[in-house]
Amino acid sequence: MLTTDYGVNYTISFMPSDLMPDTEAYEFAISNTNHRKSPRDPKLRQTILTLIYEFFRNRSAIMLYLCETGDNRQKHRSRLFESWYRASGHQTTFAYFAAELPDEYGISNYVALILRPDHPRFAAIAQQFSDTIELFREKPE
């Protein structure tokens, strides 16, 4: 757990994911555990980016980022995370694929796949992510 200068407590974790079968991927989670309003904090951004860079020291690492939907601020979280990625200056260091998926209740879910372009199975994993997204988008008849 970390606490920002603004008194906001965060838990940051990498958990094994089952969203992409036959691929070892990890879901990256950021949780505001004391539910305090969080101003834009450059130290938090830098801490999270540093953890992500460390995660990707292994070129075979695969990360999925899913935005929490409980408070209906998932679109904001997705935009913020993507802006951190774009501002990091590492667009060539990491490949970033994002998607929006409405669930059966019409709630938008935001997910991103991040991996290194030199990943040994880059093309296959990017295709698997795309196929998985399409599978979730298909509506049962």
Q: What is the pLDDT of residues 104-132, one digit of tens each?
A: 888 888 899 999 999 999 999 999 999 98
The two tokens of residue 34 are 């004391």
Query: Cα(11)–Cα(67) distance, rounded to whole angstroms?
Result: 14
User: Range of 48's domain?
Assistant: 2-137
Rounded distance between C-alpha atoms, residue 94 and residue 104, angstroms: 32
* pLDDT value at residue 141: 56
Please state which of the ranges 8-12, 31-35, 77-81, 88-92 shows the lowest mean pLDDT. 88-92
Structure confidence at residue 98 (pLDDT): 92
What is the secondary structure of the chain as a DSSP string? -EE-TTS-EEEEEEEEE-SSTTS-EEEEEEEETT-------HHHHHHHHHHHHHHTTSTT-EEEEE---TTS-HHHHHHHHHHHHHHTT-TTTSEEEEEEEE-TTS-EEEEEEEE-TT-TTHHHHHHHHHHHHHHHHPPP-
What's the pLDDT at 139? Answer: 62
Alpha-carbon distance 94 to 118, whole Å? 9
Number of folded domains that form the chain: 1
Nearest to 49 by CA among 96, 118, 110, 108: 96
Supply 122's token pair.
């880059």
pTM of the model: 0.84
